[in-house]
Every structure is written in structure tokens, then in C-alpha cells.
């Protein structure tokens, strides 16, 4: 029988959402249109329309050592062209944001190639070749993984994940990179991810409503959503991992 | 200042407060007699970006505004999330509760009683203020900060 990955334990809606996001065969729901230019603007690594600076000559032009692994692995477009390594970093609010740092690293590992995700408690960074990054970033921003109010694209000064929301439902941002238009409710980026003001604002659409967020979140939160302890299967799984890690030094043997 | 220990409490809200709500709330608190000292807590909103690639650039922020409380006008330096209060006595708390209730119509808040302010000078306070520091200002601001407490007449 062919192996079928389970992606993760749990019986709650949150666990199901996590599995869906991780499963590369599940097409992520597209919520907003964002242009390539806007993605480049928000990341702030190069001017839109400019050539990709390179870190080394294209692979086709340089002598590759005889290596069986290089023969096995097809390089990504960015690697082929010799692009620089660049990053995008996200902060996700604890208050029912659609994605969260660990989840991001897991799903990116399943869905994308040639990436180096870095997971921290309240933010997650993913590094890869520049043109690959732009393609991945577009997917991360335009789909159900992103909520305009509760997900922030923040390269630095990321604080906000664990803070209470503002009165208008936005996640705290010391640099206020994105603001809400009070009349239309549309949220727009006025600074790039490291806080440098943009010449043109980048619109990322309206915030999702509370009902949608509760149905699509991948974050356990006992006060505003589903508590972690409401999912006994997940608790059992985490307890088992924890137990094995603690006992690891004593060379555990499972019965 | 006598050795008496004054009761303290804090107002915690479900959301971080906008300057308008903060102004409304503080004016409501000002109308309650028996509040000795007050600290606005929350994440800082610097006027200039002080680190990162945008270091040195101005940091316009809609939550950093001048507000008018009592007879004083001052600029908020934090996005207010919690308000610490030192009271003359515990009987003030029900009055505070009644004053805060009309402000929070869209979301909840609660008032906790406990010890939330620094009560004794620490080493940094000693370095800044010396051995005879006025205990009224201890715990009101970071000793390294150049900002001074705002005195609201008639409420202390």
C-alpha cells in the first residue's frame, strides 16, 4: 500500500486546517490579488523591474564538480540563475491568525523547494533564492495563509504576535507598516517589511471577519477559539514527543 | 510620604486603546477622587525608529497623539494597554469601576487589585535620584528616561 502522509494529529477544526495547509495536493484558497510589483515593493530587496543581482554566475556558465547529488536534484530557477538569497518574514497574531510560525515552516517544507525556514516564537522567516522567493511570497500573501489585519510582513521590529489587538482589530506594529482605511476597511502597506516608507502604497484587501478566522485558523487559543486541551489526540501526540525527548538521554526503548 | 501602604489596582482591557479612548478613560478616572498615582503601560511608540534598517527615520504612528486630560496636555509614548493606579483607599475601586464602564461599550475590561508599582527604590533609582528620592516618583517612569511625570492638579 502506498504511503499516505498524515501531516499531523488532532480531531479539531484547527488540526484539520493544519493538515490542509500542509498537504501540497490541497489547493490553497485565493483571497486577494497582489501583483508581482507589490510583492517586490513590500519585501524591499530590489527596485521593481530591476535585474536580479547575482551571487554567482548562472549554473550553465560555470564548471560544476562531478557530484551525484547535483545530478539528482534539479536546481530551482533562482539557483540556476545564481540569484542572491533573500527573505520574507511574517508575524502572526495569536488571535486566530490563519497561520502561525511552526505551521508556516511545516507547510513551506511540503510545498516549496530550495528554502531555509527559520521558526521563532512569534515570527517566521523563510530564505531562498530571490526569484523563487518572490514566487513563494506571492502565494503566501495572496492565499488563505494571510489575513490583512492579523498577519504582518515584518523583517524587523516584529513585536505583535502575543499582544492584544488594537481597537480596530489590527495587530500591534511599532512601525505601523500597514494601516486601515477607516472608510473602505481596506488595509494597505505604507512601509516595506523593514519599515522604510514606500513611494506607492500596497493594498492587501480587507481583514477577514471573525467567523472566517475562527473557521480557518491554525492556532489553538482557549479564549478566542479552540483550546489546545480540547484536542486530546494532539495533547497525546505532544506528550509523547515530549516524553521521548526527555528520555532520549536514557536511550528509551518503546515496548 | 508616610510608611503607609496604599492599595493599588490595574485596569486591563480586552484591546489596546486608541488615543481617543485613552483620553476618555483618563478623564473618567480623573473625575474619581482618591487616585494618587497612575502609570500608562503598553508597547512603546518611538518618534524615531531607533534600530533596524530604517534607523533614524521618523516613525509617524496614529496611536501616538497628544491627549488632553484634566488641565494637562501630553503626548502618549506608548500604545496604552494597562493602567496602573495607586489609590488612597480601597473604597475608591467601586467608583473606578463605575467610571470605566461607560468607556468600554464594545469590549470588556477588568480591574485587578494587587501590587503593580515599584514600592522601594532600586539601584537604578538610587543612581538617578540619589538617597533622598521622592517616593512619589519611584516606579512612575524608567529612571533612564528623560521624561517626567505629568501632574494632574486636584487629583493627587
What pLDDT tens digit does each residue of chain A (255 aa) get?
Answer: 788 899 999 999 999 999 999 999 999 999 999 999 999 999 999 999 999 999 999 999 998 899 999 999 999 999 999 999 999 999 999 999 999 999 999 999 999 999 999 999 999 999 999 999 999 999 999 999 999 999 999 999 999 999 999 999 999 999 999 999 999 999 999 999 999 999 999 999 999 999 999 999 999 999 999 999 999 999 999 999 998 888 886 776 666
- Is residue B135 in a domain? no
CB contact at 8 A, A191 and A175: yes
pLDDT at B130: 87
Looking only at the bridges linking them, the beta strands covering B109-114 and B8-13 are antiparallel
In angstroms, the CA A148 to CA A141 distance is: 9
**Cβ within 8 Å of residue A193, ≥6 positions away:** A42, A43, A44, A88, A89, A153, A154, A155, A156, A177
For residue B149, the 8-state DSSP code is: P
How far is residue A46 CA from its own chain's centroid? 21
Q: Which among B53, B17, B81, B65 is positioned nearest to A177, based on CA atoms? A: B53
| pLDDT, tens only, B51-80 | 899 999 999 999 999 999 988 999 999 999
- Chain B residues touching A175 at Cβ < 8 A: 49, 54, 59, 61
Q: Where are the beta strands (DSSP E) in B56-131?
A: 66-69, 72-75, 82-87, 109-114
pLDDT for position B148? 78
Query: How far is it, in rounded angstroms, from Cα A77 to Cα A157?
Result: 31
Reported confidence tier of residue B156, pLDDT bands at 50, 70, 90 = very low
Q: Give the burial string for B21-35 (b: 16+ CB within 10 Å, else e).
A: bbbbbbbbbbebebb
pTM: 0.91
8 Å CB contact of A164 and B16: yes
Backbone angles phi, psi at A16, to 5 degrees: -65, -40
The CATH number given to whatever domain includes residue B54 is 3.30.70
Q: Is the pLDDT of residue B1 over 70?
A: no
How many interface pairs between A and B have CB atoms less than 8 angstroms apart?
Answer: 66
Contact A157 B17 (CB under 8 A): no
CB-based contact A195 B17, cutoff 8 Å: no
pLDDT of the residue at B118? 85
Is B138 part of any domain?
A: no
Q: Specify if B124 maps to a domain.
A: no
pLDDT reported for residue B3: 54
Q: What domain count does chain B have?
A: 1
Q: Searching chain A, which residue's CA lies closest to the CA of residue B104? A: A167
Q: Is residue B76 part of a domain?
A: yes
Q: Which of A175, A181, A188, A221 to mutate to test the interface with B (most CBs of B within 10 A)?
A: A175
Mind telling me how many Å the CA of A166 is from chain B's nearest CA?
Answer: 5
Determine contact, residues B74/B64, Cβ cutoff 8 Å. Answer: no
When pLDDT is averaged across residues B92-121 and rounded to a whole number, the result is 93
pLDDT at B115 over 80: yes
Report if residue B134 sits inside a domain: no
Whole domain around residue B90: which residue ranges?
Answer: 8-116
pLDDT reported for residue B154: 62
Amino acid at each position: 500500500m502506498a504511503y499516505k502522509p498524515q501531516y499531523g494529529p488532532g480531531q479539531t477544526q484547527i488540526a484539520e486546517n493544519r493538515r490542509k495547509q500542509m498537504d501540497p495536493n490541497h489547493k490553497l484558497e485565493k483571497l486577494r490579488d497582489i501583483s508581482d510589483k507589490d510583492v517586490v515593493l513590500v519585501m524591499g530587496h530590489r527596485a521593481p523591474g530591476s535585474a536580479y543581482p547575482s551571487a554567482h554566475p548562472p549554473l550553465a556558465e560555470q564548471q560544476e564538480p562531478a557530484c551525484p547529488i547535483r545530478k539528482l536534484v534539479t536546481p530551482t530557477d533562482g539557483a540556476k540563475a545564481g540569484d542572491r538569497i533573500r527573505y520574507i518574514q511574517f508575524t502572526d497574531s495569536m488571535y486566530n491568525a490563519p497561520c502561525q510560525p511552526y505551521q508556516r515552516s511545516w507547510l513551506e517544507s511540503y510545498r516549496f523547494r530550495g528554502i531555509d525556514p527559520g521558526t521563532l516564537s512569534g515570527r517566521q522567516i523563510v530564505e531562498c533564492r530571490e526569484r523563487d522567493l518572490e514566487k513563494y511570497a506571492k502565494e503566501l500573501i495572496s492565499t488563505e495563509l494571510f489575513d490583512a489585519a492579523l498577519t504582518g510582513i515584518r523583517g524587523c521590529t516584529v513585536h505583535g504576535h502575543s499582544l492584544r489587538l488594537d481597537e480596530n482589530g489590527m495587530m500591534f506594529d511599532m512601525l505601523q507598516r500597514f494601516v486601515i482605511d477607516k472608510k473602505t476597511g481596506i488595509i494597505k502597506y505604507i512601509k516595506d517589511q523593514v519599515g522604510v516608507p514606500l513611494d506607492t502604497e500596497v493594498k492587501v484587501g480587507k481583514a477577514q471577519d471573525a467567523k472566517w478566522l475562527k473557521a480557518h485558523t491554525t492556532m489553538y487559543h482557549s479564549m478566542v477559539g479552540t483550546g489546545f486541551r480540547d484536542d486530546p489526540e494532539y495533547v497525546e501526540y505532544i506528550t509523547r514527543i515530549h516524553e521521548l525527548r526527555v528520555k532520549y538521554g536514557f536511550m528509551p526503548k518503546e515496548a | 510620604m508616610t510608611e503607609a501602604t496604599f492599595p493599588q489596582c490595574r485596569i486591563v482591557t480586552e484591546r489596546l486603546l486608541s488615543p481617543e479612548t485613552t483620553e476618555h478613560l483618563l478623564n473618567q478616572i480623573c473625575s474619581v477622587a482618591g487616585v494618587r498615582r497612575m502609570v500608562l503601560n503598553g508597547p512603546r511608540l518611538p518618534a524615531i525608529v531607533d534600530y533596524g534598517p530604517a534607523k533614524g527615520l521618523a516613525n509617524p504612528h496614529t496611536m501616538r497623539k497628544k491627549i488632553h486630560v484634566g488641565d494637562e496636555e501630553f503626548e502618549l509614548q506608548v500604545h496604552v494597554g494597562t493602567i496602573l493606579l495607586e489609590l488612597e483607599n480601597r473604597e475608591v475601586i467601586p467608583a473606578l469601576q463605575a467610571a470605566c464602564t461607560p468607556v468600554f461599550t464594545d469590549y470588556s475590561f477588568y480591574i485587578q487589585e494587587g501590587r503593580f508599582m515599584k514600592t522601594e527604590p532600586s539601584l537604578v533609582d538610587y543612581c538617578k535620584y540619589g538617597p533622598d528620592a521622592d517616593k512619589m516618583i519611584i516606579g512612575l517612569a524608567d529612571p533612564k528616561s528623560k521624561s517626567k511625570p505629568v501632574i494632574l492638579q486636584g487629583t493627587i
